[in-house]
Amino acid sequence: MDEATSHRVKLLRFPLILLVLYIHCYLAPVRLGSSTVAVAPAMWLITLQAAWSNGFARTAVPLFFLMSGYLYFVGFDGSFAAYRTKTVRRIGTLLIPLLFWNLLIIALFALGQSLPATAGYFNADNGPMLALTPFGFVDTLIGITHFPLAYQFWFIRDLMVIAVFALPLHWLLKRTGPTIPTLLLVWWLFHPLHMPFLTVPSLEATTYFTIGAWLAMTARPMFPPVVWLRWLAPLYLTLLASDVAIRTFTGRQPLFSITILVGIVFVLALTGLVRAGSRMSRALATLSLASFFVFAAHEPLMTLCRKLIYRALPASQATIFTAYALLPLVLAGALTLVYFGLRRIVPRFTAIISGGR
């Protein structure tokens, strides 16, 4: 991978993680034990969330899969030796962090649910942790029939599953060219069918990982030229505004997928505005080191923080907006500081739980 592409990938990592936090920061309601704290958000708040969390931020997850596919297949020759090397490496970068963080969260939930004073803050859809069956425990740990307990790790789970099929994927792409990525993209855009066998990995994960793999195999650039912004910016903003209006007032979303697709290209082009070696470039490159840790640790911590906010403050429009707007920023900043503190004190341990980062 050339230096320019590597630089632009680093620029994206932390901002995209921040967008993921906004996707996970809901307006309301909040469950506190058997009760629910709820207040109907004002229309402007609903529109804000539709435009930001369920609009622009929705580019983050497919972009991560796109970059993962590209990074896996760049320089990959399709040999079993290269596949074995990459597979062994992903035990450390993906599997070990998934197991560590979910085991930690299961232990915290088991403790929190066993104490009357804290039980209301540790609701889990799959019931008490101490009552899990052996299969239920494994299911909660890695997510077989549903998300893992730390639900953001569905991304890591899907990525591991896709990586298992890297060899046949390489073989198919080498012989069919852009056919498979194109068909998957059309399927994802219009969802004509919902095949159960593509639930894990998800259709979105499969589509964008495959597109990234094809771009790498054919030596095509992942990042469009910055001059595309002249037409991408007005096109994307028009699509986003139209999509938000349709979803808000009709409940339908005919433009949702195409808006995400154009937004992905728009975000990739935006990275060209950040000059290599600039202060912003250096800051984003440094923050990128903490991106996996922030991703791994933000849930269920953010949900717990929302519950504490709603417990301490009256449920109002101001409370909803404050929690929604500021909590992801504050939490990402705090976790970044924790990451760099741990990196200084216990660097080896921090690298292990952060996938070697």
pTM reported for the whole predicted model: 0.93
Q: Under a CB-based contact definition with an 8 Å cutoff, are residues 141 and 103 in contact?
A: yes
Query: Tens digits of per-residue pLDDT, 285-314?
Result: 999 999 999 999 999 899 888 888 887 887
Query: Tens digits of per-residue pLDDT, 63-95?
Result: 999 999 999 999 999 999 999 999 999 999 999
Q: Is the pLDDT of residue 34 over 80?
A: no
Give residues with Cβ within 8 angstroms of 96, minimum separation 6: 352, 353, 355
Name the DSSP class of 33.
Answer: T
Closest CA to 157 of 111, 107, 102, 207: 102
The more confidently predicted of residues 276 and 208 is 208
The whole-number pLDDT of residue 176 equals 94
Across 241-262, b (16+ Cβ under 10 Å) vs e yields: eebbebbeeeeeeebbbebbbb
| CA–CA separation, 206 and 159 (whole Å) | 9
pLDDT band at 38 (very low <50, low <70, confident <90, very high): low
The verdict on whether omega for the bond into residue 300 sits within 30 degrees of 0, i.e. cis, is yes
Mean pLDDT throughout 95-124?
88
Helices (H) and strands (E) in the chain, counts: 17, 2
The whole-number pLDDT of residue 29 equals 67
Q: Under a CB-based contact definition with an 8 Å cutoff, are residues 22 and 52 in contact?
A: yes
Which residues are 36's β-sheet partners?
31
The whole-number pLDDT of residue 145 equals 84
Mean pLDDT throughout 318-327?
90
The verdict on whether omega for the bond into residue 254 sits within 30 degrees of 0, i.e. cis, is no
The whole-number pLDDT of residue 121 equals 78
| CA–CA separation, 24 and 19 (whole Å) | 9
Q: Is the pLDDT of residue 198 over 80?
A: no
Q: Is the pLDDT of residue 192 over 60?
A: no
